Structure formats: structure tokens, C-alpha cells
Amino acid sequence: MIRKLLVMVCCSSLLFACSTGGASAPAVSNASSALPAMPDRTANNATLAGIDTTGSGVRDDVHRYIFLTYTSTPKRNAMMQAAKAYRNIYLNPPQTQVAALALAKETDRASDCLFSYAETGHYSMMEAYLMARKIEAMHADTKARMTLYDSYNQFLDGTGAPLGPTAGSCDAGGGL
Amino acid sequence: MKKHVAIAITLVFASGIFQKASSTCGVDRAMIHINGIQTSRSDARDNMRALSSGYGPTYAGQTITYDYAYNNSNGSLWSSLAGVYFQKDVEADPDLAAAVAYGILTGDTSKITISSLQASLKSAYQNLMALNSTALAVATKTQTIAAKVNSYLNAGTDVVLVPHSQGCLYANSVFATIYSGIAGGNTRNGSVASSSRLKIVAVGDPASGVAGDPSNTSYVTAAEDGIINALRVQSFFNSWTLLPSNVKALSLGQDPVDGTGHSFIQTYINPSYSTWPKIKQAIDSAMAGLQPVGKALVSGIWDPQATGVEFHMLVNGLDISSNFGADPNLSQGAGWANYCMPLSPTTATTYAPVVYNRGSVAQAVTVAGPLGVQNTTVSAQSGIFPGMFFGAVMLVQNGTVSPYI
């Protein structure tokens, strides 16, 4: 049942991606041909950061999900930036609020990148939000990872800062 | 005969405190979000990003600063739930694992069919939201958030808090903390006196009142909000009550996006639902209710016609120099920069001295006065030039600046 639901969600995401890919949308990336192989689940879950064989900074299974789910370049670029930022939390588990804030700075930039594409009409704000939550959840997908993410968020309790503009938040090559 | 007044101005050039202005002080406003439980910091920040996109960068031409105070009320809830629900079979299934993680992180059970997890999430929601007012009032986080709000108020920027869910309890507590001299404030019954500088627009509100709003109308709770409705049932067995729902989110034929009807983005500020125009209207009303008299334009001008060195100080264009001996027939000379000074801080603030020029001894500027009453004393004291002393104290009453000495 859950699989069916997820398939429906994925299908609707694909449909939405296609429907928003109008004449002004960026070209579709062909990078899926260079996708990493799906890692062994047990091996991938053996460490907090998981397996990254491409050196992209993104977990292989997440890398595949992004390129197989999203067809437009803005979505792929923004999601890859977000995936890299979230993986860094698991790669460098913070022990202090200062360390957690440094990691959060990158997830903030990635989130701003996702929203910047929404602000320029490539997709809706709602979709930007749901993509952010999806990539966040994909990285907290084991007991150990969820526990770490819990700890990371507890370090950040009470923090917050004024929002800046989203422009310029995408990594080089990922911006509009 | 002109008295030659030698002075050095010591106003600080603290970034964000004194903003240069050409002729008048602009009015700045801030909107601060306090999230509810089951929310990651990224989620909380995205809430505010979406709200800023929906409401826009200005109100009546005045810039809005969007900020947030992350409320992590989970304790070790996520770790606890992960311990129960991330069994080997779940971890081995990437789709199921991601769905469970999503459910735990967001509290949205719509993509999970594990009934015990749904029950655990609902139970956790209700228990965390049932925190009593005493616990919140003394919580370090309340003080932290109050300090953030105070930093805006002290800088002359008025604030609208837009809390969601449990964040509404914190917002009430923050209001009571800032206005601790006003009786009656607590987290569940926020019927304390109103403020012209701080407003609350509560979203998905589990409280029985909105602080600073005696009419208790500055909130939006949807009839379809499953979390608040569940809490409402629970409240029958407790001593507290909840504000009634005041909007129906869904139109006929519309389906809910999130499983709880409680999500800040997916339900409340969703532009497809009736909740968003009501929230926007409530924010408009809160913004209109602010009376931004929090800044005065303080200008210093050197008079080149003086025989010696003469300085004039103007507050909102009023030359108060005669109060300390300078003649009133000011001629516009070499100007010293204008500064917008906060006039109604919540706590006394003394700014470190800066030597303006002329080699004088610098002294500090003190801004003090009670919030809300708008009866504030601003003393801008200069340093000492050989044998001479300059000083000025301005009294601000109800937004009108007058010389004090």
C-alpha cells in the first residue's frame, strides 16, 4: 500500500514536472546516463553518510532518485545542492551549536536555491517546500540517521536569522 | 552673542542601530515566525520563506524583515520514534524508510499506513502542546525568543509575530515576558493589554487567547485542523480551553493536502485554501495597528557662521540647540550625518562612544524608556572640548520630541 502511495506521489511529481516544462524552462539534463549504480542497502546504511561513489558529495541512492524523479535542470540542480548539504550533516556530525549552524548555513542556501526557482516561476512554492522535505527525509532514513538529525536540530533550538534574498543561493552551475 | 560651543558628537555608528536617513526616518517592520512541534529547523525556515513570498517584501511601502525563531520542542521524540519504527525491515526498504522519516519529521501521517505510528505521532503532538503556561514562561527558550524580539523593538522596528501551533503558546509567553509589568499575561489566556509595537497573528492556535489582543480575534484556526480538534477533545478533561475555529479551509470538493489539516504551508498559507486570505487579512490588520513612532531623526550640523565652533542638534527638524546655549538662528553648515535613533526601547540601552572629530573626548549615548508608554528619554552627550561641554537630553512623549534641558 505504501509503495503504491509513493508510486502515485512520484508519478504526480513527474506529471507536474512535465506540465511546468514550458518553452521558457531550462533544457533537460542528460546526466542520467552517468548515474551511479544503486548501492547495496545494507552497505549504504552501515554509515551515517552512506555511499557516494561519484565524488559528487551526494549519496548514490539519493543521486539516482533525483535524476530518475525530476526531469528539469533546475529541479535536478537544486535537489543535488540540497542533497549535498544534508549529507554533510551526516558526514560531519556536529557536537556544538556553532558546528550545527555552519552546516545549517549550507542547507539554508540549498533551500533558498529551491525557492529561487519557485520565485522565478519554474515551479510552485508548494513544490519547492515538498521537494525540500523529501530530500530532508531521505537522509534521515535509518534509526541512527534520525537520531543524529534529532541531535542536530536540538543544537539549533532557539536560533534563527533574518532571511536574505534567494538570488545567488544556487551553487555555480546550478543558478539560473 | 553667540556662545561658542565646542563639541564632539559621540553617537555610535553601530550597524543596524543607527541608520542614515536623508530627511526623515523610514519605518521598518519585522515579521517573526515561531514554529510548532514536529518541525525541523529547515522546515521552520522554509515556513517563513513561503510566508515572505506570499505576503511580499513591504507593507504600505515600508520594508518588512522576515525572521524566525526555531522552536525545537521535540526533546528526544524523533530518536524515540526512530527506535520504535526503524526496524530492520523498514530500514531495508528505501521507500518505506523515507516515508516513515517524512512522517516522523513532519508529523504528517498521510503517507504512512502504520496505524501505531500515526497514533504515536498524534499522542506526541497532544502531549507536547499540553505544556502548561508555567513551564513555558520560565523556559530558557522564551527568554531567548523575547531577546530576539526585544532586539528589533530596541532598534525601533515594530514586530508582528506569526506563530504556528505550539509556537502560539511561546508567542503569548514572549509577549508576557516583554510586558512583564502588565498583569494578566500567560500562555493560554493572553488577554493582556495591547501594544502599539508588538502584535501576534496566531496560526493553528492551541491557546485560549491571543496576547495583546483583548478581543481574541487575531488568529486563524481551520475547522479541518485535525491536531487542534484532537486537542480540543482532550481539553474537555483539563482545565484549559481553546479558541474556536474561525475559518473553513476547504471549499466544496477540495481535498486536504496534508493528512492533519494542520501544516503551516500545506494547509494554512496554501493559496488554494480559505485560510490564506484570512491570515493575510489578520497580518494586514496587525500591521495597521502598529504605531511606528519608534525613531526620531537626530541631526547634527556645524554652524560655519559662528565665530568659533558651534554645533546644533536637531530632532525631527526641531533645533533644540538653544537649550544648551547655542543661538537658534542656525545657518546650514557642514553637516554631520543624520541618524535614526530608536526612541521606545524595551530596555535601557547605552551605546559605546565614538569620537566624531575635533579631537574631543567621546561619551556614550543612552536611550532608555518604557515600551508602549512611549515616554522615552534620549540623552546624546558630547565630549569635552577645551573648557566647554555640550549635552542634550530629549524627552519623547507620545511620539512628540521636546527638549528636556
ipTM beyond cut 0.95 = no
pLDDT digits (tens, 9 = 90+) for B173-189: 888 888 764 433 444 44
* Residue among B235, B189, B184, B183 at smallest CA distance from B209: B189
Enumerate the β-bridge partners of residue B335: B301
pLDDT at residue B111 tops 50: yes
Q: Which amino acid belongs to residue A82?
A: A
Partners of residue A129 in chain B, C-beta under 8 Å: 46, 50, 265-266
**Which residues does chain A have with pLDDT short of 70?**
1-33, 173-176
Residue with cell 515616554: B375
Choose the weakest-confidence range: A17-21, B70-74, B193-197.
A17-21
- Chain segment B28-62, per-residue pLDDT in tens: 799 999 998 889 999 999 999 999 999 999 998 88
Average confidence score pLDDT of chain B: 69
Q: What is the pLDDT of residues B325-335, one digit of tens each?
A: 444 444 444 44
pTM higher than 0.90, yes or no? no
> Is A142's CB within 8 Å of B141's CB?
no
Q: Does A40 touch chain B (CB under 8 A)?
A: no
Could you tell me the CA-to-CA distances from B109 to B7, B38, B94, B129, B236 in Å, in that order? 68, 12, 18, 18, 25
8 Å CB contact between B227 and B204:
yes
pLDDT surpassing 70 at residue B141: yes
B105 touches chain A (CB under 8 A): yes
| Cβ proximity of B303 and B310 under 8 Å | yes
pLDDT band at B90 (very low <50, low <70, confident <90, very high): confident
Which range among A26-40, B78-92, B93-107 shows the weakest confidence by mean pLDDT?
A: A26-40
In B148-207, the residues whose Cβ lies within 8 Å of chain A are 148
Give the best residue of A86, A105, A153 to mutate against chain B (max B CB count within 10 A): A153
Residue B399 has pLDDT above 60, yes or no: no
Per-residue pLDDT tens digits for B250-295: 887 777 778 788 999 999 999 999 999 999 999 999 999 887 655 6
Q: What are the cell numbers at B90?
A: 523498514
Residue B295: which H helix or E strand, with range?
strand B295-303
Q: Which residue has the higher pLDDT, B74 or B368?
A: B74
List C-alpha distances in Å: B350 to A8, B12, B353, B366, B381.
60, 10, 9, 4, 11
DSSP B29-77: EEEEEE--SS--HHHHHHHHHHHHHHH-SEETTEEEEEEEE-----TTH
Rounded mean pLDDT of B120-124?
70
